[in-house]
A = this chain, B = another copy of it.
């Protein structure tokens, strides 16, 4: 069993590819298992190592994640890091029974969103983090438990979110047993100043617990917000290939921050990601072929890496 500091080393930047989960959440036509595995394989060739693969939810509700078990097994067999969401007690039990290396629980940053979206209180959501941590620690594999705070930078229902409240919730999640915590700008409300400020405080609070910053590009701030997160101590960012994954609250809007652009950003900032941009472009072409109805965003894939070698 790998320790958390081996999976998310604090001395380098880890870019998690969440396209197979967040990117497929809203789509009608999703790739076959074979196409998903080819997508994984091509991204692995490009140097991507961390994948969020789906949600443990009833197949009747989310048929795009019916093959989650297969994907997890393939990912682990390839020596990569697999993560998947578990949004309720049943999901947590199924996750613990699988070979997934990281179980993602979600806690809304506001009580209003928690009740409206998950029909439970934030306290109940944190209790589920505790339950997941207890179950995970009782297995020989001991998967990591990741507690992600959605709406941490602004809420589609409550509006403004108090950073003090977010920090309190991060603390509560760590107390409950989370190995990793996250803050998400779920609806793309925020800017780099806010992201930098909260990240600086959160990384200090987290200490050795890795902090994942999950950003959406809904209003064009994705890469700027990622730069601010990196500038303020964050070392784990989420992105999705081609920015797949829209916003349920803004039809047609951009989705997750674009993975390719994140790689380029991190490299220009002096962080070595281990990802080859040309190979990543090729992987993107495969994913685009498998999802012809979806818009793939992002500038780097159109322009290619720059001429100046020193920047990469």
A268 touches B308 (CB 8 A): no
Q: Contacting A227 at CB < 8 Å: which of B154, B192, B261?
A: B192
Tell me whether A311 and B265 are in contact in the complex, defined as CB-CB below 8 angstroms, given that A224-B224, A299-B218, A302-B250 are known contacts. no
Any chain B CB within 8 A of the CB of A106? no
Any chain B CB within 8 A of the CB of A274? no
Any chain B CB within 8 A of the CB of A65? no
Any chain B CB within 8 A of the CB of A190? yes
A303 touches B269 (CB 8 A): no
Q: How far apart sit A310 and B193, CA to CA, in the bound complex (Å)?
A: 14
Any chain B CB within 8 A of the CB of A58? no
B188 touches A303 (CB 8 A): yes
Tell me whether A253 and B308 are in contact in the complex, defined as CB-CB below 8 angstroms, given that A220-B223, A226-B224 are known contacts. no
> Which residues does chain B contribute within 8 Å of A226, judged by CB atoms?
224
Q: How far apart sit A245 and B264, CA to CA, in the bound complex (Å)?
A: 22
> Which residues does chain B contribute within 8 Å of A227, judged by CB atoms?
191-192, 224, 227-228
Tell me whether A300 and B189 are in contact in the complex, defined as CB-CB below 8 angstroms, given that A268-B194, A306-B154 are known contacts. no
Query: Which residues of A line the B interface, CB within 8 A?
Result: 154-156, 159-160, 187-194, 217-224, 226-228, 247, 250, 252-254, 258, 260-261, 264-265, 267-270, 298-300, 302-311
The 8 lowest CB-CB distance pairs between A and B, nearest first, are A191-B268, A220-B261, A220-B299, A253-B303, A224-B224, A189-B306, A250-B303, A254-B299
